[in-house]
Structure 1
Amino acid sequence: MAGKTEFDAGLTREAVIDAVREGGGEFGKRELARAMSLKGSDAKRALNDALAALTEDGTLTRSNSKTYSLPGALPAVCVVQLIGRDNDGELLAEPVRPDRHAPMIRLAPGEGAGGKGTPAIGIGDKALVRLALQEDGSYQARLIKKLGQSAHKLLCMLRKPQSGPFRLLPVDRRSRHELVPAKGEAEKAHDGDLVLCEIAKERRHGLKTARIVEVVGDASAPGAGSLIALYSHGVPQGFSETEQREADEAPTARQGKREDLRALPLITIDPDDAKDHDDAVWAAPDDDPKNPGGWQVIVAIADVAAYVTPGSALDRGAFKRGNSVYLPDRVVPMLPERLSNDLCSLREKEDRPCLAVRMVFDKSGNKRSHTFMRGWMRSAAKLSYTQAQDAIDGRDGGPANALLDDVLKPLWGAYFAAREARGRREPLEIDAPERRVRVGEDGQVIGVETRQRFDAHKLVEEFMIQANVCAAETLEQKRTPLIYRVHEPPSREKIDALSDFLPTVGMKWAKGNKVETGRFNQLLKQAKSSEHYETINVVVLRSQSQAVYDTENEGHFGLNLQRYAHFTSPIRRYADLTVHRALIRALGLGDDGQSDEERSRLTVIAEEITHAERRAMAAERDAVDRFIAAYLADKIGAEFAGRITGVTRFGCFVKLDETGADGLVPISRLGEERFEHDEKLHALVGLQTGSRYRLGMPVMVRIDEAQPVTGGLLLDMLTEAEKGERPSGRRRPKSGGPPNGRRSGKPWKKGRRR
């Protein structure tokens, strides 16, 4: 049921949706009827029909308590549990109800701080809050009532101090309060062990007590950084017995009616250490006389849908994980190894099922047509990016040299044409180098390096982008529901902030003009030769929205594409598997495509896998931080060059040039002068002299502390602040005032203001 279809008794779907939305996002059937002033059996029967239809097509979701809500929406008043803190120290929360997943919920500054005999609220507590939706889609919460402890688990390290009882130290560096093991709990683990805890008893004053519910392992053991990251972010690990059995017993796919592509020298090009191979590529000049100088390209993708069927244990497990998680020393796969590294992986010289798209481009890289097929292929070679690039550049590429003329040169020819079209399209070109932590066989870090990007990387990336576009276009043409990869343009607030900042570095942004990727690229190009390039690159990056999965197509701003879906990595992303199934159903390529049940849940699936992606990104980032902190732990006192990548009210963050590690210089370590955070300038500004530490400023720092367990680096600033004018309207602090970050002007004593 779609459009403005009306149900019996003149009840429209829009009226029901509006009533649910106005009710705070959630309603029971009885409350909904009352709010809509529906009386009589006919009207209530019509409401039942409307709710059933809206639930079936995914417009509304129905909870176990028989309430209806808009997907992703939260009611105005909600019970939450406190799960952590952001970089500013503000509390973060999530709904207690397990059937609810929402954007970030952040307590308003100062909320839950306690006072007048009321204990402060903290991580692990539950609270009743009033929510307000923010411009960026997150929620701000204001405390109504503290409800006590939740079952939220904290990952801690058990530590025996030189004097006194055992302590439980949270591994999340945003958690500032230690815990005390409840009576007898410390006997469950050893000094230095990582343990999962839950609050045992709430205290009005003093440290809270906690129970140890699981011993994870030794905090000093190799690989502890990954374990901490996985447990801290709740990343699902391992496979159920049913999943493993389904994978072990999965019959090998047969060719059947699949199109035989084995005569084509399709090849995989991946990182050196890749174990699974999602995609293969092939190109050749187009032999159509109507397309002189044109190219044909085939992108073949592992046919995971042939093995992971809707509703199976493998499918449920893959959905729960959402994606594979890549850490410095391990991969947490979305699918069991027999599928991810064997049956589904496009192994060299082995027959494999695939879902492929043949694309035809003209000599200028414009796509003329495309066709999807379910194929049967045999990879001609497994190449690394380095091997492919070396061969094309005339160096020794090992096995790639034998493929140079017949395989690699046509691929590069097609890529050069596609690159022309990409240049005309002008996707966003932000310089964001990726760091790689190299871990030895003993689990210890042996180095940190920036990943090099060759044309070989860009070639594969561009062909994958084109294949993803083809998938979205085909499903739209077939009117088949799908999950898009959506990247919305920057919000007005972020553009205003960018526009306000640029004049401080001698550049400008006209607010009235349309926001386009080309404008950002021109800005970055202008800044390339200036001392502020790093700063502007960071500010532009932070002005962008985060990409999400959604059933509503809002386009992909960063790639400058009207429609885009993820199709090319079904071994490691559940989103791609849903797109494969949609294509199979839409094109009649088999009976294992998108089911009616999956179709009705696409909105919920999109929200869940977006949440899983954010969870994986946070775990990957935290693991890298912890491994680098371990690498730097024996370099205390060493000096490093870096650049300020963030300024806050409590200090500045510095990224070290050598390792890419991020460390904090507390505001109290910036000298005798008092500094304050100026949001518009993206700087910490001295109130006496106007000197400043600004975003992007190159600095020298000394490592004062490196904590592998938390991933935190504490740095001392060695570089003097840049000269500047004292900001007008700001009072010079009186002599003898408090240190940085505290108010001045009145007598001050530790622990007390008068």
Structure 2
Amino acid sequence: MTESRFPTKDAVLAFIRSSTVPVGKREIARAFKLSGSAHREALKELLRDLEADGNVERGRNKRMAPPQSLPEVAVLEVSAVDPDGELQARPLTWTGEGTPPRIFLLPERGKGAPAPAVGDKLLAKLSRINDRLYEGRIIRRIEGAEGRVLGVYHPAADGGRLIPTDRRNKTEFVVLPPNRGDAEAGDLVMADILPAGRLGLPQVRVTECFGSTAEPRAISLIAIHGAGLPTVFPHAALREAELAAVPPLSTREDLRAIPLVTIDGSDARDFDDAVWAETDPDPSNPGGWHLLVAIADVSYYVRPGSALDRAAYERGNSVYFPDRVVPMLPEALSNGLCSLRPGEDRACLAFHLWIDRDGALVRHRLVRGLMRSAARLTYEQVQACRDGTPDDDTGPLAEPVIAPLYGAFARLWAARGRRGTLELDLPERRVRVDERGRVGEIATRERLDSHRLVEEFMIAANVAAAETLEARTMPGLFRVHDQPSMDKMEALRGFLAGIGQTLPKRQELTPDHFTRILRKAAGTPEAPLVSEVILRAQAQAAYSPENIGHFGLALRRYAHFTSPIRRYADLIVHRALIRTLNLGVGGLDDGAMERLAEIGDHISATERRAAAAERDALDRFTASFLSDRIGARFAGRVSGVTRFGLFVRLDENGADGLIPASTLPDDRYEHDEAKHALVGQRHGRTYRLSAPVSVILVEADPLTGSTLFRLDDPQG
């Protein structure tokens, strides 16, 4: 019998790289038909060489994989639901460089428990697709929402039934009389899932009752509890907030004579940033501007390690719903001392910013000050004033305050255009509720120059914060946005080629490459499709102590500084600046400095949790708004394509809903991920992202947020 030829180092490395899971010596020997002690020793030596060269890594079980690979079985945390409804997860522990690979979770089959939610912990078997992408199959849930379910209680002959509000959970639960608590017919309740019996439906015990689902407030309550958002502040945190008071001027800079103004939406609940501008009087900066961006000094009231700090960290950020807000800080701060109300003294951190005639930031200085807002203005008021129709509030401010703001904004906007940012101006839905909490209107939020003005002032202050930290080598949290991954770029190139557009094949793509493609597509039927696909190709922004820059904004240094009332990241940045500039109490403590990576991961996760809860609430409010129009026809466009159906966005109001694949004309449909399409295998019908469609509303359930359509003309 002829002995097998011993493989080369490259051949073994190629086998390890191609495997979907880590492999051991036994699998390698079997693959290359190796046997005998000589081959075993030679293979052991070869693997040692590969490991020494850094081409592979050896796990705890001595199995080999490419560097920074994930193990075959790992504990994961559900991190997001992508625009196509797919669950994404991240490894609970990651010690590699940069961000961990993406993990898409395969749907569970035959499970009675609710579908995993953002924040749930899972044990999963992983299959490697490539270096940056894995598939995960859930083995079991190890903590989180697996033992609880939010649903609606309905009486029944044997006690009652609980119908989950999560539309992905089709299980019906039994509520025996002793387990009913105070629940009445139609009440929204939280219940614990009881150990499963051998026969019959699973049982639950009601633990909390939130009142009738007929109440409009039930919609956001479902989203809040479904996402596991903390809603009750500890008594100690509330007491700290109630005892807080405006600090004396002391060593602070007195800014009260400067007519700073807040500019927010008409429905804004807190005002944490104020702006002002003037032409720079310095003759060495001809055509330049002096800006002032003042931000509520939350760090003065929320000290490291305090009860307020612990509560704020747990929440990570405020979460906004059409009818309420789940704040990061108690009302005494968020709507009181840290809200820059007109005519009231407020503690602030303020950046003096100097820009040149081209809008470039030439220098900046941070002060801890005391300010007094001159006016609380809305975007609409400011824009109307700029367009020549001032009101009683804006009239006196038109020339001394509003005109200089627009003058400085024009320079910042020109600089933005020159540096080539990614300009994705996608429509945003806005739900208006009446005083009873019922949906009065769903409309697209109008984008005004006044919105852009405030955004550009905030970006300038954020850049100044990042530059200050980096110049002084002070640890902090940066808002980072990585370049799109190579696999997404290849998919995008293939898609663009299909509509006659090209994306350069180069290592360093810039945001301007995408913006040029968007400009070419502007005004064509494909424009919405191109915008959607480019958006989905982008990496997800996050918080990290490692500064890799912000790709979308085309900025090398960027840190969130402007919203410490509602973002813990901004509070960390404030503390870091206070410490490095010796601005007094409330600076970053040593413990936090050592945990910045952990803090960044945590608040990135709470940000994703908040976004998922806000989307969930928006879906439920939309379903409520449409619930009395079953059978109505609507025009819309395909806004998402998945293997289980098409998402459609209505032209009339921006509402989203699903056309299940099972209701499409008789065929077997394959999901073409590269073309963002469902393609019929027998008849060739193709349903593509952004295609116009006419649909009929079949279902709109506010309790589950389920909005279902069917095609108006299935053969069209």
Is contact 1:302-1:346 (8 Å) kept?
yes
Q: Deviation digits for residues 580-607 of structure 1, max 9, x if unmatched?
A: 1111110011032111122122111111
SS in structure 1 at match of 2:277:
strand
Is contact 2:74-2:91 (8 Å) kept?
yes
Q: CA deviation at 1:159?
A: 2.6
Partner residue, 1:699: 693
SS in structure 2 at match of 1:659:
coil
Is contact 1:158-1:190 (8 Å) kept?
yes
1:431-442 equivalences in 2 (<5 Å): 431-442=425-436
Please, which moves more after superposition, 216-225 or 692-701?
216-225
1:157-196 equivalences in 2 (<5 Å): 157-160=152-155, 166-182=160-176, 184-186=178-180, 188-196=182-190
- Alpha-carbon separation, structure 2, partners of 1:601 and 1:592: 17
Q: 1:104 to 1:639 in 2, by over 3 A?
A: farther
Aligned with 1:522 (options 512, 516, 524): 516
SS in structure 1 at match of 2:408:
helix
Q: 1:503 to 1:96 in 2, by over 3 A?
A: closer
Structure 2 residue 703 is the aligned partner of structure 1 residue 680: no
SS in structure 2 at match of 1:641:
strand
- Alpha-carbon separation, structure 2, partners of 1:236 and 1:405: 45
- Alpha-carbon separation, structure 1, partners of 2:353 and 2:144: 57
Q: Which amino acid is 2:216 matched to?
A: P
Using the size of structure 2 for normalisation, the TM-score is 0.84
Partner residue, 2:543: 549
Q: CA deviation at 1:83?
A: 11
Aligned with 1:156 (options 151, 157, 161): 151
1:485-496 equivalences in 2 (<5 Å): 485-496=479-490
Q: Deviation digits for residues 259-289 of structure 1, max 9, x if unmatched?
A: 1112211111111122321111111111111
Is contact 1:107-1:140 (8 Å) kept?
yes
Partner residue, 1:17: none
Q: Which amino acid is 1:178 matched to?
A: E
Is contact 1:84-1:175 (8 Å) kept?
no
Partner residue, 1:579: 573
Q: Which amino acid is 2:688 matched to?
A: R
Aligned with 1:601 (options 591, 595, 601): 595
Aligned with 1:382 (options 366, 376, 398): 376
Q: 1:711 to 1:584 in 2, by over 3 A?
A: same
SS in structure 2 at match of 1:201:
coil
Q: Percent identity, aligned pairs only? A: 49
Aligned with 2:136 (options 119, 141, 144): 141
SS in structure 2 at match of 1:399:
coil
Q: CA deviation at 1:213?
A: 2.1
Q: 1:486 to 1:145 in 2, by over 3 A?
A: closer
Q: Unaligned stretches of 5+ in structure 2? A: 1-21, 23-67, 94-98
- Alpha-carbon separation, structure 2, partners of 1:444 and 1:406: 41
- Alpha-carbon separation, structure 2, partners of 1:136 and 1:524: 30
Q: 1:129 to 1:646 in 2, by over 3 A?
A: closer
Is contact 2:623-2:707 (8 Å) kept?
yes
Partner residue, 1:237: 231
1:235-384 equivalences in 2 (<5 Å): 235-384=229-378
1:644-663 equivalences in 2 (<5 Å): 644-663=638-657
Is contact 2:175-2:204 (8 Å) kept?
yes
Q: 1:251 to 1:132 in 2, by over 3 A?
A: farther
Q: 1:505 to 1:127 in 2, by over 3 A?
A: closer
Q: CA deviation at 1:720?
A: 5.0
Q: Deviation digits for residues 169-207 of structure 1, max 9, x if unmatched?
A: 221112232222256324641221122122212256653
Q: CA deviation at 1:328?
A: 0.5
Partner residue, 1:210: 204
Aligned with 1:424 (options 415, 418, 424): 418
Q: Which amino acid is 1:517 matched to?
A: P
Q: CA deviation at 1:502?
A: 1.6
Q: CA deviation at 1:85?
A: 8.7
- Alpha-carbon separation, structure 2, partners of 1:104 and 1:154: 30
Partner residue, 1:31: none
Q: 1:303 to 1:75 in 2, by over 3 A?
A: farther
Q: Which amino acid is 1:676 matched to?
A: E
Q: Deviation digits for residues 560-588 of structure 1, max 9, x if unmatched?
A: 11111000001111110110111111001
- Alpha-carbon separation, structure 1, partners of 2:285 and 2:261: 25
- Alpha-carbon separation, structure 2, partners of 1:254 and 1:360: 28
Q: Which amino acid is 2:587 matched to?
A: G
Partner residue, 2:220: 226
Q: Which amino acid is 1:356 matched to?
A: A
Q: Which amino acid is 2:227 matched to?
A: H
Q: 1:88 to 1:433 in 2, by over 3 A?
A: closer
Structure 2 residue 498 is the aligned partner of structure 1 residue 483: no
Q: Deviation digits for residues 703-725 of structure 1, max 9, x if unmatched?
A: 11111001111111014566xxx
- Alpha-carbon separation, structure 2, partners of 1:337 and 1:137: 43
Partner residue, 2:49: none
Is contact 1:495-1:511 (8 Å) kept?
no
Q: 1:134 to 1:325 in 2, by over 3 A?
A: farther
Is contact 1:121-1:146 (8 Å) kept?
no
Structure 2 residue 616 is the aligned partner of structure 1 residue 627: no
Is contact 2:84-2:640 (8 Å) kept?
no
Q: 1:133 to 1:407 in 2, by over 3 A?
A: farther
- Alpha-carbon separation, structure 2, partners of 1:533 and 1:276: 36
Q: Which amino acid is 2:669 matched to?
A: F
Q: 1:147 to 1:375 in 2, by over 3 A?
A: closer
Q: Which amino acid is 1:598 matched to?
A: A
1:60-209 equivalences in 2 (<5 Å): 77-78=73-74, 109=106, 113=109, 123=115, 128-131=123-126, 140-142=135-137, 152-160=147-155, 166-182=160-176, 184-186=178-180, 188-203=182-197, 206-209=200-203
SS in structure 2 at match of 1:438:
strand
Q: Which amino acid is 2:401 matched to?
A: V
1:686-725 equivalences in 2 (<5 Å): 686-719=680-713
Q: CA deviation at 1:441?
A: 0.5
Q: 1:174 to 1:136 in 2, by over 3 A?
A: farther
Partner residue, 1:465: 459
Please, which moves more after superposition, 475-484 or 392-401?
392-401
- Alpha-carbon separation, structure 2, partners of 1:706 and 1:394: 43
SS in structure 1 at match of 2:393:
helix
Q: Which amino acid is 1:291 matched to?
A: N
Partner residue, 1:570: 564
SS in structure 2 at match of 1:635:
coil
Q: CA deviation at 1:451?
A: 1.1
Partner residue, 1:474: 468
Is contact 1:149-1:199 (8 Å) kept?
no
Using the size of structure 1 for normalisation, the TM-score is 0.80
Q: Which amino acid is 1:447 matched to?
A: E
Q: 1:499 to 1:78 in 2, by over 3 A?
A: closer
Q: 1:420 to 1:220 in 2, by over 3 A?
A: same
